[in-house]
Chains A and B, each alone.
Chain A
Amino acid sequence: MSKDRKHNHWYEGITEAVQMYIPGNRMYRTIQARRARTGTLFILPLIIGFLAFMVRPLFLSLQMSMSKVAVVEGTMSPFNITMNLFGQNIVVPFGNYNYAFVSDPDFSKMLVSEIGRMAINTIATLVMSFVIAVILNQNFKGRTLCRVIFFLPVILSSGVLPGIESQNAYFNLMTSISDAVGESSGVNLSQALQNLLSVSGVAKDVFDVIFQMIDAIYDIIMASGIQIIVFLTGLQSISPSLYEAADVEGCSAWESFWKITFPMVSPLLLVNCIYTIIDFFMKNDNQVMEHINSVMYGTQMDFGAASAESWIYFGVALLFIGISTFIITRAVKSYE
């Protein structure tokens, strides 16, 4: 194909594209040009969709986040604030961002707490799904049934379903009542253990995180359906002869796990990590998401503030994906 041409600058691709698509050009009759045109036709839906429903709304939303929006008339007017920078008053178009961080009482608090929850949940999901995938890859009775059940969360935790009960304002009240009842009527084992360990005073923060994870184990299992499948795929693609060779050389199962299984599957860690982060950010039962929705559709109908907040949120998500990609590619490279 056109692989033999090396691009020295990014814009050379564009000039080449223009040349290819102009009828009557010298390159018009080559087979590369023809295949290029066919390929472009195949991905045409994506090009149209991306320009119309992604690029344009992104710009519009960026514009909105810097203006005051009147929904009914469909108009926008710039929403500037005056800031005192270096002793001078400067007009900046960040009114809504200012609102999100300074005036909105809940947003920054929620953002921080969600980020913390996400970091813990992502790590826990990765570990959990890896362990389960390793177990499901072994041979035991009822393995097929287990696989079927572990994939159920993909259905049960999608879309509207997970958030529906916690979205109910009464629900929180109700759980607090049932917690109070539970404390008086029966012994809560994990709570008792938690009290015991936290009294003993050894590494209280560590225990807090661990207990938070144990309490969230249901959420973690529900969020790890796809990840289990992805890891399972990776595990099944490892050729059994590797294990045989290791066995002949006298490797124990533990050693061959760390020397064969883990390095072979670790590239999938990145895929899963990104998937988990995105999944977490888009979940319905996410506080920040709920808050943005309530700013947008609630009594305020403040579209400007809502889009500013979702941009901040997106920025945070991107930052996290970047950081985890960086860390994981470093860690995985050391194996290769």
Chain B
Amino acid sequence: MSKGNTVFIGKNKSFRERNRRSNGYLLKRTTGRIAISVIRGLLMFGLCFMIIQPLITRFSVSLMAAEDIYDSTIRLLPRHVTLDNYRIVAELTSMPTSMINTAWISFVMSICQVVSTTLVAYGFARYEFPLKKFWFACVVMLIIIPPQTIQTALFMSFTHFDIFGIFKATTGSDINLRSSLIPYTVMCLTCMGLKDGLYIYMLRQYFKSVPVSLEEAAYVDGCGTMHTFVKIMLPDAVPTIASCFLFSFVWQWTDLFYTRNFISGYKIYSRELSNITSIMSKYFARNSTENVTVPLGRQMQLIGIGVFICCVPLIILYAFTQKTFVQSLTMTGSKE
């Protein structure tokens, strides 16, 4: 686009002149292009704003003192800035303990899930074995069956745990495993955790896209099965595995279903958050003798803060890893 480039006829002529020469085509095209980009810009801005706006509102409301909420002249910017609300919410959700528990339990569970799903996905992508189609149909079933269907049954069998009546015969009673981490860890290790079917599908799709000749070369050079898998296949699969890990970490962090059913012995943030309303009235009634009803606006403010606290670590994590999130999905190419 330099000035010396005068090969194009009428490069330095006015827009009107060039438009005349093209019989009005230039004007039409330019107008169309500008109109499209303006509409696109507006649409994108509106939709992005819609996604971000609740977060901003929650943040600004979270800083408001109790009297600001009912002041109708205040919409977005708080007049009495206070961090007191955060302290209250932290106490309501038994904060340091529940956050630490959530963090390490999500981490351990995601690791378990990723390890087991990677192995299974590799098996599906590379090996021929009897009933392969049937087992893959089972993976699809895993994606489709809502865990709610089996929740009652799992709940019962973990509350009254017994293997073929062995425990009942020896100790006289069955064991309640619901408060321990064992059942859920075992479930994650056997691909029955949260959305594991999806991860198997994603990873299998990736492993299928790697050329077989790589492994064949390794076999020829005398690598064993496990050696080939660990040394040849895993290093290249790291981005996809990382994205699966991030997905499972994020979903585990906010999950209520499995936490409520199987890990009732630990204080988990999502469960504390779902109970926040019932604890709230007790908390505010602590100092007075009679029953206190917490005003609605105040309730909503505190719940909003709870949600905000839950989101913030994930958003920070996402900000650092968004490339891994989006890119590896693009690489996997979830096309069948």
The yes or no answer to B108 lying at the interface (CB within 8 A) is no
Structural contact, B152 and A38, CB atoms closer than 8 A: no
Q: State how many angstroms separate the Cβ of A305 from the closest Cβ of chain B.
A: 10
The yes or no answer to A222 lying at the interface (CB within 8 A) is yes
Q: At the interface with chain B, which of A50-58, A97-105, A205-213?
A: A50-58
Structural contact, B47 and A150, CB atoms closer than 8 A: yes
The yes or no answer to B124 lying at the interface (CB within 8 A) is yes
The yes or no answer to A158 lying at the interface (CB within 8 A) is yes
Structural contact, B273 and A16, CB atoms closer than 8 A: no
Q: Which of A3, A69, A151 contacts B326 (CB 8 A)?
A: A151
The yes or no answer to B153 lying at the interface (CB within 8 A) is yes
Known A-B contacts A20-B130, A153-B51; A160 and B274 likewise in contact (beta carbons under 8 Å): yes
Closest B residue, CB atoms, query A159: B254
Contacts of A281 in B (CB 8 A): 146
Q: State how many angstroms separate the Cβ of B189 from the closest Cβ of chain A.
A: 6
Interface residues of B in 147-165 (CB under 8 A from A): 147-157, 159-160
Known A-B contacts A35-B127, A40-B129, A150-B51; A48 and B156 likewise in contact (beta carbons under 8 Å): no
Expressed in whole angstroms, the Cα–Cα distance for A1 and B270 within the complex equals 48
Interface residues of A in 133-173 (CB under 8 A from B): 135, 138, 140, 142, 145-156, 158-161, 164-165, 167-171, 173
Expressed in whole angstroms, the Cα–Cα distance for A60 and B154 within the complex equals 9
The yes or no answer to A292 lying at the interface (CB within 8 A) is yes
Q: Which of A14, A161, A321 contacts B254 (CB 8 A)?
A: A161
Structural contact, A16 and B148, CB atoms closer than 8 A: no
The yes or no answer to B12 lying at the interface (CB within 8 A) is no
Contacts of A3 in B (CB 8 A): 128
Q: Which of A140, A267, A310 contacts B146 (CB 8 A)?
A: A310
Closest B residue, CB atoms, query A19: B130
Structural contact, B150 and A54, CB atoms closer than 8 A: yes
The yes or no answer to B169 lying at the interface (CB within 8 A) is no
Category for how many chain A residues contact B:
35 or more
Structural contact, B144 and A321, CB atoms closer than 8 A: yes
The yes or no answer to B174 lying at the interface (CB within 8 A) is yes
Q: Is the interface of A mostly helix, strand, loop or mixed?
A: helix
Contacts of A39 in B (CB 8 A): 123, 126-129, 132
Using an 8 Å CB-CB cutoff, how does the interface string of B29-51 with A read, 1 for contact, 0 for none? Answer: 00000000100110110011011
Most buried by A among B116, B126, B148, B311: B148
Q: Which of B134, B192, B257, B334 contacts A233 (CB 8 A)?
A: B334
Interface residues of A in 184-224 (CB under 8 A from B): 217-218, 221-222
Q: Which of B129, B146, B190, B256 contacts A278 (CB 8 A)?
A: B146
Q: At the interface with chain B, which of A110-118, A119-127, A242-250, A312-320?
A: A312-320
Structural contact, A42 and B51, CB atoms closer than 8 A: no
Most buried by A among B159, B190, B318, B332: B190
Expressed in whole angstroms, the Cα–Cα distance for A314 and B153 within the complex equals 15
Contacts of B174 in A (CB 8 A): 74
Structural contact, A74 and B159, CB atoms closer than 8 A: yes
The yes or no answer to B244 lying at the interface (CB within 8 A) is no
The yes or no answer to B1 lying at the interface (CB within 8 A) is no
Expressed in whole angstroms, the Cα–Cα distance for A165 and B51 within the complex equals 17
Interface residues of A in 267-294 (CB under 8 A from B): 267-268, 271, 274, 278, 281-282, 284, 289, 292
Q: State how many angstroms separate the Cβ of A162 from the closest Cβ of chain B.
A: 9
The yes or no answer to A8 lying at the interface (CB within 8 A) is no
The yes or no answer to B139 lying at the interface (CB within 8 A) is yes
Structural contact, B156 and A69, CB atoms closer than 8 A: yes
The yes or no answer to A36 lying at the interface (CB within 8 A) is yes
Expressed in whole angstroms, the Cα–Cα distance for A209 and B40 within the complex equals 25
Structural contact, B152 and A64, CB atoms closer than 8 A: yes
Structural contact, B142 and A50, CB atoms closer than 8 A: yes
Using an 8 Å CB-CB cutoff, how does the interface string of B311-336 with A read, 1 for contact, 0 for none? Answer: 10011001000100110011011111
Expressed in whole angstroms, the Cα–Cα distance for A334 and B41 within the complex equals 35
Closest B residue, CB atoms, query A277: B144
Q: Which of B143, B144, B273, B296 contacts A170 (CB 8 A)?
A: B296
Q: State how many angstroms separate the Cβ of A303 from the closest Cβ of chain B.
A: 5
Structural contact, B119 and A165, CB atoms closer than 8 A: no
Expressed in whole angstroms, the Cα–Cα distance for A165 and B192 within the complex equals 29
The yes or no answer to A262 lying at the interface (CB within 8 A) is no
Structural contact, A60 and B335, CB atoms closer than 8 A: no
Q: Which of B124, B155, B329 contacts A43 (CB 8 A)?
A: B124
Contacts of B303 in A (CB 8 A): 164-165, 168
Expressed in whole angstroms, the Cα–Cα distance for A58 and B157 within the complex equals 12
The yes or no answer to B88 lying at the interface (CB within 8 A) is no
Q: State how many angstroms separate the Cβ of B148 from the closest Cβ of chain A.
A: 5
Q: State how many angstroms separate the Cβ of A139 from the closest Cβ of chain B.
A: 10
The yes or no answer to A66 lying at the interface (CB within 8 A) is no
Expressed in whole angstroms, the Cα–Cα distance for A278 and B300 within the complex equals 29
The yes or no answer to A71 lying at the interface (CB within 8 A) is yes
Closest A residue, CB atoms, query B37: A140
Q: State how many angstroms separate the Cβ of A147 from the closest Cβ of chain B.
A: 6
Expressed in whole angstroms, the Cα–Cα distance for A52 and B138 within the complex equals 13
Q: State how many angstroms separate the Cβ of B270 from the closest Cβ of chain A.
A: 4
Expressed in whole angstroms, the Cα–Cα distance for A74 and B177 within the complex equals 14
Contacts of B160 in A (CB 8 A): 74
Expressed in whole angstroms, the Cα–Cα distance for A151 and B317 within the complex equals 13
**Pairs across A and B, CB under 8 Å, 26 listed:** A1-B128, A14-B131, A35-B128, A45-B116, A46-B120, A52-B190, A53-B187, A54-B145, A58-B149, A58-B150, A60-B150, A71-B159, A145-B48, A148-B322, A148-B326, A156-B311, A161-B254, A165-B304, A168-B277, A170-B277, A229-B326, A233-B333, A267-B336, A271-B334, A284-B256, A303-B156
List 20 additional contacts besides A69-B152, A155-B315; criterion CB under 8 Å. A16-B130, A35-B129, A39-B126, A41-B123, A48-B190, A50-B142, A53-B150, A54-B138, A54-B192, A60-B153, A71-B156, A74-B160, A140-B37, A150-B48, A160-B255, A160-B273, A165-B303, A268-B334, A314-B146, A314-B149
Which 3 pairs show the lowest CB-CB distances between chains A and B?
Answer: A39-B127, A49-B190, A42-B123
